[in-house]
Amino acid sequence: MKILFLLSAVLISSALAVPSHHTTKIGEKTTIEIADEKVKSFSRSSGFGTLQTYDVEGPNKNKWIDDKGKTVGDPKNYEFKPPGSLIIKKVSSIDEGHYDYIPLVPPKPLDLPPGIHVDPGVTGVTVNVFPARK
């Protein structure tokens, strides 16, 4: 029984460890499906090491905020689509990066037998932005 449980945990962990990819072009409208559940906020990290947060409620609702508290980009360019998608009305180069989310309801911890450990999976969507074709 322990072997079956361990095998199931490994397979689930492997399935969760594959991040999704989304490709779009500058100037296009696109929808990024980030989560299957209700979200509290999204995060976006770029290749330059910057982290930005997009809250779906509260004082910074529907805005990308950087780690210094400044608004990034035009808030009118982004729209939250429940339960966990983000619409970008006109993609630009600042939209490239890895998108993830914070769930509205935190997950319950797994009740694992002693000695069993499951590594958390990699979540989110990596968005690649390419120049528009002329």
**pLDDT tens per residue, range 82-92:** 999 999 999 99
Enumerate domains of the chain plus CATH numbers.
2-130 (2.60.40.10)
CA 120, CA 2: separation in Å to the nearest integer? 20
Q: Global pTM? A: 0.78
Can you give the pLDDT at residue 109?
84
Q: What is the pLDDT of residues 25-58, one digit of tens each?
A: 999 999 999 999 999 999 999 877 789 999 999 9
